[in-house]
Amino acid sequence: MKNRYLAYIAVVSILASSCGTTQKQVTSTVQAKPEVEELNISEDDKNEFEYTFIEGLKQKMIGNQQAAITLFSKCLEINPNSSSAMFELAKIHSGNGDQTSSSLLLEKAINIDPQNKWYKVLLAQIYQQGKQYKKAADLYQQLYALDSENLEYLYMNAALLSSAEKFDQAIVVYNELEKKIGINDQISVEKQQIYQAAGKKKEAQAELQKLIDYNPKEPRYYGLMADYYLSEKDEVNALKYYLKILEIEPDNGFVLFSLTSFYRQKEDKEKAWEYIRKGFQNKLADVETKIQYYLMMTAEEKPFFTEDQVNELVQTLIKTNGDDYRVYTVYAEYLISKGKLEEARDQLRKVLETQKDNYMIWERMLLISNDLLDFKSIYTDAEKAIELFPNQPVLYGLRAVACLQLEKYTEALDILKEGDAYLLDNKLMKVQFELYRAEANYKLGRVEDAFKAFDAVISIDPENWLAMNNYAYYLSVRNENLEKAEQLSGKAVRANPDNSTYLDTYAWVLFMRKDYSLAKFYMETAIKNGGDKNGVIVEHYGDILFMLGQKDKAMEQWKKAEETGDFSEFLSEKIKQGRYLDKK
């Protein structure tokens, strides 16, 4: 369990680190001086060593690592005992992820120069990354012996001993550190966790009690004790310390939410509601905590609170923290979950009055408009968003969709061309752009360009069923390359056997190939899968029936299609003349 009340006291910089965190690679601000005095080498060799070493540093500085490795290796050929060359090579190997080579070089360098702290710090970090915690701890012990003023070495020694499960030794070192800096919550919690892991409950409790005795008015320490008891499944004492915090700070937001969680675990809906309500009503409680708790609560599969209670919390959040724009984004998501898309969009528009530079709000609002099929709003809002965020390809894609729906086909192509520069390696958006390009070109009568775009989509994404379906349909209505149309449409249907639109396309391709019986089978399958609500599909069904000689049934389907309000420009004439009319 996380310690919600643990705050770091900035006594020494060491306490900002955690033993479980990988340390950053060491970089010495003092450049190591190349050694040439260890061996009895000639003056020429000394000069060559120094020149090669400096060249190695230059190559490393400009990022040419392979050249630097070659040069430092040459230094070791000249002087096999150069710990500086070993250190430089070790840093490069470590940065490249070769910790084995790095550690071998550093171990040798330390044997040559045991007083150099940089060698030991880097090797300790490498040991730590490799989970060789005891070896790393020993190095920090050596470093502390070299520099007893550096308490970070002492802290790292203790923390790594703890990671190595050398708990008794870790406690001894933590006690030594505590003597030097005084009572500190980080150290006490580290010791408490060690005692608790070792099953020494009295000692663990005593460490936290020491903090309370040190500062009995600090609510965080009671929170640590409450967390401790909760981890030990001692709910009675955990509750006692949570309530103690409320005695000190009645408006402590963290403990109100902690108590909410406490009673939720006990399935006490009444008490949980009491405390979460107080938490949301508390103007001093951190709004971030409220939002996070709300998001966690609403993400649950089985809601703990009722819809009315959730609604009250949202309304309370607006009243108490209405000056924070994030509250309105939360409210918008709540409204979306209730299907109130237009109201949700209104809330996001309100946010954009003060947060117009927030890209995610613009994108969310535009996607809501897309769900509402409000293409006029997308058209205007996307233009505004592009002015603010010209490098976001999604915005160009959304505006292109709006242009297609508003029959602004040339403008759609223009906006797609403008957005092409920002696609980079975004495969998904490239596919979308080509799809939109295909549709726009087809509507403009640029059939060859349209079919090239469809081919591009399928080349990038061989399982793009939508592209295959649309491509096949356009080929079929033009009565062109029907073999390819059947192949494309067949793939889409096999992958999506219940998709009425894809089934309709396949049936229509078969119709154009004059395979009316098989076309009837697939069209009836489309009708059974919801196609009976689509006027175009129903009209196609009538066309197939007519070709099979079932004229009365064909007329019945045509009239049904007419009732939907969605049909071809030839339907009225078909009904009037009582026969199928070829669109060409």
CB 139 within 8 A of CB 122: no
What is the model's pLDDT at position 40? 66
| Res. 523: pLDDT tops 90 | yes
Taking the CA atoms of 374, 378, 381 and 383 in sequence, report the sign of the dihedral they define.
negative
75, two tokens: 């230094």
Percent of the chain with pLDDT strictly greater than 90:
54
Q: Decide: helix, strand or coil at residue 11.
A: coil
Q: Which are the contacts of 517, defined by CB distance < 8 A and separation ≥ 6?
A: 548
Q: How far apart are CA 511 and CA 422, in angstroms?
A: 42
Measured over the CA atoms of residue 194, residue 198, residue 203 and residue 209, the dihedral's sign is positive
Q: Give the tens place of pLDDT for each residue, 98-114.
A: 889 999 999 999 999 99
> pLDDT tens for residues 221-268?
888 888 888 888 888 888 888 888 888 877 777 788 888 888 888 888
Contact 554, 516 (CB under 8 A): no
Confidence of residue 583 (pLDDT cuts 50, 70, 90): low
Q: Which of 11-20, 188-197, 350-359, 499-508 has the lowest mean pLDDT?
A: 11-20
Tell me: the pLDDT tens digits for 161-182? 888 888 889 889 988 888 888 8
Task: Give yes or no for a contact between 456 and 434, defined as CB atoms under 8 angstroms apart.
Answer: yes
d(C-alpha 93, C-alpha 12), whole Å: 31
Q: CA–CA separation, 343 vs 150, rounded Å?
A: 59
Ordered structural domains, the chain, with CATH? 27-182 (1.25.40.10), 373-460 (1.25.40.10), 463-577 (1.25.40.10)
Each residue of 546-570: pLDDT tens digit? 999 999 999 999 999 888 877 777 8
pLDDT digits (tens, 9 = 90+) for 441-489: 999 999 999 999 999 999 999 999 999 999 999 999 899 999 999 999 9
Rounded to whole angstroms, the Cα distance separating 387 from 389 reads 6
Residue 36 has pLDDT above 90, yes or no: no
SS (H, E, C) 437-484: HHHHHHHCCCHHHHHHHHHHHHHHCCCCHHHHHHHHHHHHHCCCCHHH
Cα gap 509→489, rounded to integer Å: 8
Q: Is the pLDDT of residue 34 over 60?
A: no
More confident residue, 250 or 18: 250
pLDDT at 300 over 90: no
Q: How many helices (H) and strands (E) does the chain have?
A: 31, 0
pLDDT of residue 70: 93
- Cβ contacts of 456 within 8 Å, gap of 6 or more: 434
CA distances to 52, 53, 59, 81, 98 from 70, in Å: 10, 10, 10, 17, 16
| Predicted local confidence at residue 190, as pLDDT | 86
Euclidean distance between the first and the last CA atom of the chain, given in angstroms as a whole number = 72
Query: Span 69-84, mean pLDDT?
Result: 92
Per-residue pLDDT, 35? 52
Mean pLDDT within 129-154: 90
Report the candidate in 104, 147, 151 with the shortest Cα–Cα distance to residue 127. 104
Rounded to an integer, the average pLDDT of 508-520 is 94
pLDDT at 367: 95
Q: What's the mean pLDDT when you consider all of the chain?
A: 87
Please state, in angstroms and rounded to a whole number, the distance separating the CA atoms of residues 335 and 298: 12
Nearest to 287 by CA among 341, 323, 251: 323
32 phi/psi in degrees, rounded to 5: -60, 140
Pair of tokens at residue 436:
């939109």
- Mean local confidence (pLDDT), 32-42: 55
Structure tokens at 126: 């490498």
Q: Give CA–CA dist 571/543, Å, rounded.
A: 10
- pLDDT score recorded for residue 294: 87
Q: Which two tokens stand for residue 48?
A: 């060559």
Query: What is the CB neighbour count within 10 angstroms for residue 451?
Result: 20
Which one has a higher pLDDT value, 209 or 410?
410
pTM, entire model: 0.61
Of the candidates 107, 60, 64, 67, the one whose C-alpha atom is nearest the C-alpha of residue 83 is 107
Q: Between these two residues, 8 and 1, which has the higher pLDDT value? A: 1
Residue 512 has pLDDT above 90, yes or no: yes
Please report the pLDDT score of residue 571 as a whole number.
Answer: 85
**What residue type is 546 in one-letter code?**
F
Q: What is the DSSP code string of 198-253?
A: TT-HHHHHHHHHHHHHH-TT-HHHHHHHHHHHHHTT-HHHHHHHHHHHHHH-TT-H
The answer to whether residue 71 scores a pLDDT higher than 90 is: yes
Which is more confidently placed, 558 or 198? Answer: 558
Using 50, 70 and 90 to split pLDDT, how confident is the model at 398?
Answer: very high
What does the pLDDT read at residue 175? Answer: 87
Question: In 3D, which of 214, 209, 172, 213 has the Cα closest to residue 194?
Answer: 172
